[in-house]
Amino acid sequence: MRDILDLDRYPLDQENSAAWKQLVERCSHELAANGMFNLDNLLRPGVADMAAAEIRPVMAASSYQHKRLHNIYFKPEIPELYAGHPALRQVETVSHTLCGDQIPGSIVLAIYEYRPLARFLAAAMGKSALYVMKDPLARANVMSYREGETLNWHFDRSEFTTTLLLQAPEAGGEFEYRSDLRGDDDPNYDGVARLLEGNDPQVKRLKLKAGNLNVFRGKNTAHRVTTVKGNTDRLIAVFSYYEKPDVMFSADERTGFYGRAA
């Protein structure tokens, strides 16, 4: 794994060492303060290019195009809100997805399954443990956004989201987010409406570089990817970890996300 990850700068393999603890403390602090942390250039030079080169032909031939209209909640309705409420505004998302079973032996899967990474993430998130998914489709996905495509405003289902950028586009494709827009006990519908109307001054923009690992609190942080421009796709791996082992999606969930149940 030392040929893939910069373990000198990020000592994921030295659990409980002083350097490892310092990294965990730094990332935990950034999560608390900003709702996210980044490991810039986690991949060694040239590795992101190699990982993207593995993915591109499979993406072109076998990816699932997911085009949908949705609101920020990905729900057809919210009982507390009237139809037409600004917080229910419809937006469009277009992406292309590869599932874990389509990229066996890839650099992406090797990183996802690297146990020291899961142990480090658990410590940074304040979890006792994190486990890879048993689900062969959902465990690790690679998403592609092509020219004119975007991932629009939404909240994630999971508390944390872990991504690894493999290829940045020529322009656009920037990560925009609004930390802690809602709470577990406060949906903040008025604040969501202001965000969707472009009236939230606390929105931040982050331009990720290929090789960067990003972790953020996706459940209560609204986020989107701006429209991609140019002929270079935005390629990003999404890693799914859970606090219990052997997690599987239902057949309906797989069909909804990936267009197939198996």
Asked whether the predicted pLDDT for residue 77 surpasses 90, the reply is: no
Beta-ladder partners of 33: none
Question: All domains of the chain, ordered by start, with CATH?
Answer: 18-256 (2.60.120.620)
The CA distance from 62 to 192, in Å, is 36
What pLDDT does 104 receive?
Answer: 97
Instruction: Sort residue 245 into left (φ over 0), alpha (ψ -120 to 50) or beta.
Output: beta
Task: Provide the 8-state DSSP code for 127.
Answer: -
pTM given for the model: 0.93
Span 100-156, pLDDT tens digits:
999 999 999 999 999 999 999 999 999 999 999 999 999 999 999 999 999 999 999
The CA distance from 73 to 206, in Å, is 22
Task: Provide the 8-state DSSP code for 174.
Answer: -
- Chain centre to alpha carbon of residue 208: 12
The CA distance from 112 to 238, in Å, is 9
Asked whether the predicted pLDDT for residue 157 surpasses 90, the reply is: no
What pLDDT does 218 receive?
Answer: 86
DSSP output for 197-211:
TT--TT-EEE---TT
Beta-ladder partners of 245: none
Q: Which two tokens stand for residue 18?
A: 């002083």
What pLDDT does 223 receive?
Answer: 94
What is the residue type of 10?
Answer: Y
Average pLDDT on 30-48 reads 95
The CA distance from 210 to 224, in Å, is 18
Average pLDDT over all residues of the chain: 95
Span 190-245, pLDDT tens digits:
999 999 999 999 999 988 999 999 999 889 999 999 999 999 999 999 999 999 99
Task: Provide the 8-state DSSP code for 57.
Answer: H
Task: Provide the 8-state DSSP code for 11.
Answer: -
Q: What Rg do the C-alpha atoms of the chain give, in angstroms?
A: 18
Angle at 236 between CA 8 and CA 100, to 5 degrees: 95
